[in-house]
Amino acid sequence: MATAESVWNNCLNFIKDNIQIQAYNTWFEPIKPLKFENNVLSVQVPSKFFYEWLEEHYVKLLKLALNKELGENARLVYIIKMENTFGNLNPFTEKIPSQYKTDLSSQQVDFSFSQIQTELKNPFVIPGIKNLKIESQLNPNYTFENFLEGDANRLARSAGLAVSNKPGGTSFNPLLIFGGVGLGKTHLAHAIGVNVKEKFPEKTVLYISAEKFTQQYIESVKKNNRNDFIHFYQIIDVLIIDDVQFFSGKTGTQDVFFHIFNHLHQNGKQVILTSDKAPVDMQDIEQRLLSRFKWGLSAELQRPDYETRVSILKNKLYRDGLEISEEVIDYVAKNVKVNIRELEGAVISLIAQSSFNKKEITIELAKNVVEKFVKNTKREVSIDYIQKIVSDYFQMDVSTLQSKTRKRHIVQARQLAMFFAKKFTKASLASIGSQIGHRDHATVLHACKTVDNLSFTDKQFRKYVEDLSKKFTV
């Protein structure tokens, strides 16, 4: 006869094969099976934060594991058992609203898998049906309230707010949000859609990734209903397409999107796009499409500065109901600089270590966690770092590298810095030029072509490129 332990152990065997061992050790080993009856498995988790993390990140995996073991009607019940690990102060309950506090030491959450969509619902339906209801595919947790403003994102955030207050009625159409990995492009795109739905519930809003859009288009061609596909997207009021650089090299998808875009724009509908590159840097995108990307506003998201990183940390801690000392917040903000995703990841690692090891969050624990976190994170080369390495190599100051002098060896050093910035960073040509001596994007483009040409024709210059490449790839 199946017991809670045997059912859960079989689920764990399946889960272990489908995630990384570190994630398994962190999020599944601490779970304890308690009871199994009537196809309902009850498990104990150590905190509300822990339960919410499982629900947000691993619910599909849990569903697959339980369905495999128990069938389609399986249900999972979480028992949240919090332990008082810091005297009378538990960081997981300190800021939880009072209505939860009374029973949170042993709170039961009945979680039915029927609430979960295991796959993104395909928004493509045969049009022509009156009162057609289209799922927006928006994540309600991505809002303007938790997208904190700073110098690095002020233009993009302000433009996004303007668009959400008057979709299709501003000059920001299309609105193209671009920037590197983990800087909040998807968050901001969702926030715009969520705000539109709140203010204009009658409007049809749809968020979709460029990859999913492409898959749907290919499927429509196979089924010989391409016109239905186009017509469906032409009835959307606010169309949000994430990672539009995925269209690169896909001529059929670009062609169909060109017709959809024209119809939406001419009829006053709003188009919002995200990309990891500025339009000027996109490769293998048709010129007629690129020109339309430039009709509205292209707003860049850059790395958050120190003050913004501190605000992001405090906001996340507040939302999770946690308190950490200013000293720890300051340390994390100063040492995790690459992007917002990694910043939040470092905090989650810190909280997890504190919870599982029954340790208070001190500066020593923060140093230990951040050191390991940064070491395990692939280092992203910054433009500042590139300028320093190139300047040191040619035995000059960064200020000399950035100066307006036309001396040959300084010009070549500057061109190499631009070349490597384009190669090793996600920054736009305009952003690279701005940071390397306030040049424009055309200067950067010229520098990259010059480096490519000299690498073939000048033996000494080729050695410069090879030597510097080694410094950036070590």
Supply the DSSP symbol for 36.
E
Average pLDDT, the chain: 78
Residue 160, classified by CB atoms within 10 Å of its CB into exposed (0-12), middle (13-18) or buried (19+), is: buried
Given a cut of 70, is residue 355 above it in pLDDT?
Answer: no
User: What is the rounded distance in angstroms from the CA atom of residue 126 to the CA atom of residue 448?
Assistant: 48
Read off the tokens for 302. 């850059």
Return phi, psi of residue 354, to 5°: -65, -45
Cis preceding linkage at 174, omega within 30 = yes
Given a cut of 50, is residue 120 above it in pLDDT?
Answer: no
Given a cut of 70, is residue 71 above it in pLDDT?
Answer: yes
Residue 33 or 93, more confident: 33
User: What is the rounded distance in angstroms from the CA atom of residue 441 to the CA atom of residue 282?
Assistant: 13
User: What is the rounded distance in angstroms from the CA atom of residue 341 to the CA atom of residue 360?
Assistant: 24
For 418-473, write each residue's pLDDT tens digit. 999 988 887 888 889 888 988 988 899 999 999 998 988 888 899 999 889 888 76
The gap from C-alpha 156 to its chain's centroid, in whole angstroms, comes to 15
Residues 184 and 335 sit within 8 Å (Cβ to Cβ): no
User: What is the rounded distance in angstroms from the CA atom of residue 337 to the CA atom of residue 428?
Assistant: 19
Give the DSSP H or E segment for 79. Answer: strand 75-81
Domains and CATH numbers, the chain: 4-115 (3.30.300.180), 154-301 (3.40.50.300), 306-376 (1.10.8.60), 383-473 (1.10.1750.10)
Which distant-in-sequence residues (6+ apart) come within 8 Å of 444 by Cβ? 418, 421, 422, 429, 430, 432, 433, 436
User: What is the rounded distance in angstroms from the CA atom of residue 91 to the CA atom of residue 320?
Assistant: 10
Pair type for strands 175-179 and 270-275: parallel
Which distant-in-sequence residues (6+ apart) come within 8 Å of 42 by Cβ? 4, 33, 34, 35, 36, 76, 77, 78, 79
Q: What does the chain come to in residues?
A: 474
Model confidence band, residue 297 (pLDDT cutoffs 50, 70, 90): confident
Q: Which of 44-53, 198-207, 208-217, 368-377 has the lowest mean pLDDT?
A: 368-377
